[in-house]
Amino acid sequence: MFRKKLNEELGRLSIDEFRSADKAPLALVLDNVRSQHNIGSAFRTCDAFRVGRICLCGISATPPTPEIHKAALGAEFSVAWEHFDTALEAVQKLREEGYLIVSVEQADDATMLQDFQPEPGKRYALVFGNEVKGVAQEVVDASDLCLEIPQYGTKHSLNVSVSIGIVLWSIILNNFR
């Protein structure tokens, strides 16, 4: 018989414990993500997978807002974030800090997600794009790698928050836990 666990049984970290805990060697870059619910979802997913940093770029809203909080459920307080005028500025800064830049985009010569093997000891900045236009071409051009999520239906398009969940789960599951 299955019994749902109580919140007290989940071993949740406090915000202070989260901030001091080891993080996956990943940063998230949101390139002009327009939906605050998608931004909040990104915070919540980064908290769940212990990603330590989000770069909000361009028109991407920043906390605090009721819409971000509604989806983030407080993860906007645990996950560090900063805002950049453009995603290109963010990836340039992250590259200077030693991150490899990985755009999640359908692109020529992209690596399929299931084939991606991060190098041990390397840090990766994962760039996710606007809900309509995707990752800006100038950011794709500045990337070390593009990852593509295989899709088999008629749309070949996923909501950005769904894409973030799929990519983080795949990378964390296969490499960092």
Separation of alpha carbons 37 and 79, rounded Å: 16
Where in 18-66 does DSSP place strands (E)? 26-31, 53-57
The token pair that represents 33 in the structure block: 């993500």
Instruction: At 97, list the tokens.
Output: 């800090």
Predicted confidence (pLDDT) per residue in 118-168, tens digit: 999 999 999 999 999 999 999 999 999 999 999 999 988 999 999 999 999
Please tell me the distance from the alpha carbon of residue 79 to that of residue 147, in angstroms, as a whole number. Answer: 24
Above 80 in pLDDT, residue 176?
A: no
From residue 9, give the alpha-carbon distance in Å to each of 39, 46, 47: 28, 21, 18
Neighbours of 117 (CB within 10 A): 9
Q: In this predicted model, what pLDDT tens digit does every residue of 61-116 receive, in sequence order?
A: 999 999 999 999 999 999 999 999 999 999 999 999 999 999 999 999 999 999 99
Residue 9 DSSP one-character state: G
pLDDT tens, 27-73? Answer: 999 999 999 999 999 999 999 999 989 999 999 999 999 999 999 99
Q: Which domains does the chain have, with CATH numbers?
A: 21-176 (3.40.1280.10)
Phi and psi at residue 16, in whole multiples of 5°? -65, -40
